[in-house]
C-alpha cells in the first residue's frame, strides 16, 4: 500500500537503513540461489501448487481480534498483509460463514490485501483424539465446515496456531504429532479436492515457540519439523520468537532452518521482546517523567501503564514514558533489526507484527501480567484516539513498520 503523502526525495541514506537494504538484497540473492539449488527437492512442493516465494514481507497481526481490523490504520502503516487466527471450537457455536474472523479475512482479501489465517486447535484442557476414532472424525468434520470458506481465498493457512502451548504438557509427544499430521493430511486432501493445482492457498505448519531454550527441542519438535520437511505440500513452518533478547531469535533460526528442505521458506507471524519488557515492569519510572507528571519517585512502570489502561493518556505522555525508559528506548528499532535478520536468510516468506492493543492484553493488569501491549503498532487501549474512526500509533513502531514495506 502506498501513502499518497510519500514522494521520493533526494537525500543521503542513513547508515542503519543502508545496512538493512544491503541485508535485504543479500536475502533476495540467497533466496534465488536456494531456489536454484533446491529445485529438485522443492520443485514439486505443494502437490503442483507453485510455492510461495521468499517475499520477506511484513504484515499486520491481529491474533484473535480480526474483528478490530481498521482499514484506515492499515493504510497509514502501508500494510499489505493481514494475519489472525480462527479457533475451531467456535464452529460449534457460530456457523463459520458468520464468524467475524472468517468474514474479516475474506473481506480483506476482497479489498486486495494478502491474508494469512492460522487454524487454532485449543487442546490445553483435553487429550488429543486418536486418529481413526470418533473424536478425530468429529474434529475433522468441524474442520470441513471451515475449509471451503478459506481455501482458495486466504493466501496462507497455517495448520495449528501454537501446538506446543495449546496442549496438555503430558501430551507434547508423539500424540501431538499424530494429531497434527492427521489434520495436515486432511487439509492437503481437501485443498486438492476443492481447488486442485491452481489453488492460491499455501500451507505451512504453525507455530513453534521458545526454541531458543534447549529443553524445548524435544523429539516431538524434531518429528514436527521432519514432517514439514518431508511433506511436499507443506511449504515451511511458522515461528513465534517471543524472547528476552534479540540473540535468542538467531537461536530459533539456527535450530529450525537446517531442519527444513533446501528452498523451503518460513513464517514469523508473531515476534517480540515481551519477556524483556516484563523484567522492567517493577522498575521505577524515569525521574524526569515523575517530576513532569507529578508522580511519587517510587512509582513503578506497571502502575503508570495501569493508569493509562484506566484513563488513556495523551500520546505525548505515553511516548515520554517509553522514550525516557532506557530498557525500551534502546530496543525501539527491534522491528527494523529483526526484519533485517529474517530477510538476510533469503527464506522468509512473510512476517507479521502485533498491530493493535487488544482486550486480553489488559485484563487483570498487574506487575506480573505479560506486557504484550508494549509491542503494538497502534496503542488502542492506552492512548486517546485521534477520532472516532482511528486510534493513535504507539511509540516507536509505526515509522519502522512503514519503512519496511
Mean pLDDT of the chain: 90
Determine the 3-state secondary structure of 216 from DSSP.
helix
Cβ atoms within 10 Å, residue 127? 13
The whole-number pLDDT of residue 196 equals 83
Q: Is the pLDDT of residue 1 over 60?
A: no
Q: Is the pLDDT of residue 27 over 60?
A: no
Backbone angles phi, psi at 295, to 5 degrees: -100, 150
Q: Is the pLDDT of residue 28 over 70?
A: no
The whole-number pLDDT of residue 33 equals 40
d(CA 67, CA 13): 38
d(CA 44, CA 287): 61
Average confidence (pLDDT) over 246-266: 96
d(CA 242, CA 149): 31
Task: Note whether 248 and 280 are within 8 A (CB).
Answer: no
The whole-number pLDDT of residue 23 equals 42
| 158 grid coordinates | 497455517
* pLDDT, tens digit (0-9, with 9 covering 90-100), for 270-311: 999 999 999 999 999 999 999 999 999 999 999 999 999 999
Q: What is the DSSP string of 221-287?
A: HHHHHHHHHH-TTEEEEEEE-B-SSTHHHHHHHHHHGGGSPTT-EEEES--B-HHHHHHTTTSBPPH
* pLDDT, tens digit (0-9, with 9 covering 90-100), for 119-150: 999 999 999 999 999 999 999 999 999 999 99
Angle between helix axes 334-344 and 247-256 (nearest 10 degrees) is 20
Cα 86–122–49 angle (5° rounding)?
A: 50
* pLDDT, tens digit (0-9, with 9 covering 90-100), for 317-345: 999 999 999 999 999 999 999 999 999 99
Cβ atoms within 10 Å, residue 312? 19
Task: Note whether 13 and 21 are within 8 A (CB).
Answer: yes
The whole-number pLDDT of residue 144 equals 98
Q: Which of 61, 93, 66, 67 is nearest to 79 (CA)?
A: 61
The whole-number pLDDT of residue 49 equals 80
Q: Is the pLDDT of residue 30 over 80?
A: no
Q: Is the pLDDT of residue 39 over 50?
A: no
Burial (Cβ within 10 Å: 0-12, 13-18, ≥19) of residue 328: buried
Q: What is the pTM of this model?
A: 0.88
The whole-number pLDDT of residue 47 equals 59
Amino acid at each position: 500500500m502506498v501513502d499518497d503523502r510519500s514522494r521520493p526525495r533526494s537525500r543521503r541514506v542513513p547508515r542503519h537503513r543502508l545496512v538493512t537494504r544491503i541485508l535485504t538484497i543479500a536475502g533476495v540473492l540467497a533466496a534465488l540461489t536456494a531456489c536454484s539449488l533446491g529445485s529438485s527437492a522443492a520443485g514439486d512442493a505443494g502437490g503442483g501448487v507453485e510455492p510461495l516465494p521468499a517475499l520477506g514481507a511484513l504484515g499486520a497481526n491481529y491474533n484473535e481480534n480480526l474483528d478490530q481490523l481498521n482499514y484506515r490504520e492499515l493504510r497509514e502503516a502501508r500494510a499489505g498483509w493481514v494475519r489472525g487466527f480462527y479457533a475451531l471450537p467456535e464452529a460449534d457455536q457460530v456457523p463459520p460463514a458468520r464468524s467475524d474472523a472468517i468474514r474479516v479475512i475474506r473481506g480483506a482479501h476482497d479489498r486486495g490485501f494478502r491474508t494469512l489465517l492460522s487454524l487454532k486447535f485449543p487442546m490445553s484442557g483435553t487429550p488429543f483424539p486418536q486418529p481413526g476414532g470418533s473424536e478425530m472424525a468429529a474434529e475433522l468434520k468441524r474442520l470441513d465446515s471451515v475449509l471451503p470458506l478459506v481455501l482458495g481465498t486466504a493466501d496462507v493457512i497455517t495448520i495449528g496456531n501454537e501446538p506446543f502451548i495449546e496442549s496438555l504438557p503430558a501430551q507434547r509427544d508423539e500424540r501431538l504429532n499424530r494429531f497434527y499430521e492427521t489434520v495436515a493430511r486432511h487439509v492437503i486432501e481437501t485443498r486438492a479436492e476443492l481447488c486442485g493445482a491452481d489453488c492460491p492457498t499455501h500451507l505451512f505448519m504453525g507455530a513453534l515457540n521458545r526454541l531458543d531454550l534447549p529443553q524445548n527441542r524435544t523429539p516431538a519438535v524434531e518429528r514436527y519439523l521432519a514432517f514439514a520437511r518431508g511433506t511436499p505440500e507443506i511449504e515451511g513452518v511458522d515461528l513465534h520468537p517471543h524472547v528476552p533478547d534479540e540473540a535468542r531469535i538467531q537461536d530459533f533460526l539456527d535450530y529450525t532452518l537446517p531442519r527444513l528442505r533446501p528452498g523451503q521458506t518460513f513464517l514469523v507471524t508473531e515476534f517480540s521482546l515481551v519477556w524483556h519488557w516484563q523484567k522492567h515492569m517493577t522498575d521505577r519510572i524515569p525521574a524526569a517523567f515523575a517530576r513532569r507528571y507529578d508522580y511519587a519517585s517510587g512509582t513503578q512502570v506497571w502502575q503508570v501503564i495501569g493508569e493509562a489502561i484506566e484513563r488513556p493518556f495523551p500520546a505525548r505522555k505515553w511516548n515520554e514514558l517509553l522514550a525516557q525508559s532506557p530498557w525500551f528506548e534502546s530496543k525501539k528499532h527491534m522491528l527494523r533489526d529483526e526484519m533485517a535478520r529474517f530477510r538476510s536468510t533469503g527464506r522468509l516468506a512473510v512476517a507479521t507484527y502485533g498491530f493493535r492493543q487488544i482486550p486480553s492484553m489488559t485484563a487483570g493488569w498487574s506487575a506480573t501480567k505479560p506486557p504484550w501491549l508494549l509491542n503494538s503498532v497502534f496503542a488502542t487501549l492506552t492512548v486517546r484516539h485521534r477520532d472516532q474512526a482511528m486510534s493513535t500509533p504507539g511509540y516507536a513502531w509505526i515509522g519502522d513498520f512503514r519503512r519496511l514495506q
